[in-house]
Copies of this chain bind each other. A is one copy, B any other.
Amino acid sequence: MVMQKATPHALDALIQALRVLPGVGAKSASRMAFHLMQHERAGALQLAKALEHACDHVRHCVTCHTLTEFEICTMCADPERDRSQLCVVETPADQAAIERTSTFRGLYFVLMGKLSPLDGVGPNDLGFAKLSERCADGQVQEVILATNFTGEGEATAHVIAEMLKKRGLRVTRLARGVPAGSELEYVDLGTIAHALVDRR
């Protein structure tokens, strides 16, 4: 008799497949697989269907580059949004974070990443040409750079700002400063320094 591994193949394959999820290693994957098979078969089948449906239907909005089911995403197609303001973000999650504040009524451009030369991500991968073209539609008057305040996010914002300022567009950046609800004693030096420089 040929010896087989103790864990059956279908489970092995499932554990291996689950590792495609970000942040899920071997242990989490097997915990997930056992949990699904023991307690959540209906949920597992629904997840399989949702994955297939999303892979078939989700694509990039031709206008803002975000993930959507439509050729033009619902936000870009919404006539009530202010077409004179364009907010540049790294990811759909960042876009969602700004939307939750309900303080921005303009449109977005989603880079789907940030400049990262070490990982081989350059201006072409982030669609800078498309962004430049998008800004030349005659309606955009202000571009708000809302990339993250990390080294790579700052560099991305800087390169975009240089590119768009040449075209005579007004380019702004989210304000840096002390977070709401925080005590100065516990805020890092760099943040306080920026808040002092940018005081109003």
A→B interface (CB under 8 Å): 1, 3-11, 13-14, 16-18, 20-23, 28, 30-38, 40-41, 43-55, 57-58, 67-70, 73-75, 77-79, 91-93, 95-96, 99, 112
Give the distance to chain B from A167, nearest Cβ to Cβ, in Å.
28
Number of copies: 2
Instruction: For residue A66, give the distance in angstroms from its CB to the closest CB of chain B.
Output: 9
Report the bound CA distance from A73 to B34 in whole Å.
15
A79–B35 CA distance with the chains assembled, in angstroms: 29
> Are A1 and B79 in contact, CB atoms less than 8 angstroms apart?
yes
Q: Select from chain B the residue with minimum beta-carbon distance to A5.
A: B74
Contacts of A6 in B (CB 8 A): 73-75, 95-96, 99
Contact B74 A4 (CB under 8 A): yes
A74 CA to B30 CA in the complex, in Å? 18
Nearest CB of B to A71, in Å: 12
Q: A57 contacts B20, CB within 8 Å?
A: no
Contact B45 A52 (CB under 8 A): yes
Q: Which residue of B lies closest to A7 (CB)?
A: B96
Q: How far is the CB of A28 from chain B (nearest CB, A)?
A: 7
Kindly list chain B residues whose C-beta atoms are within 8 Å of the C-beta of A36: 20-21, 51, 54
Supposing A40-B20, A93-B30 touch, asked if A8 and B48 sit within 8 A by C-beta, the answer is no
Q: Is the CB of B58 within 8 A of A8?
A: yes
- The contact of A10 among B10, B14, B57, by CB within 8 Å, is B57
Contact partners of A20 in chain B: CB under 8 A: 36, 40, 43-44, 46-47
Q: Which residues of B contact A22 (CB under 8 A)?
A: 31-32, 35
Contact residues in B for A99 (Cβ distance below 8 Å)? 6
Q: Once the chains are docked, how many angstroms separate the CA of A95 from the CA of B8? A: 13
Note all chain B residues with C-beta closer than 8 A to A75: 6
Closest to A9 in B: B69
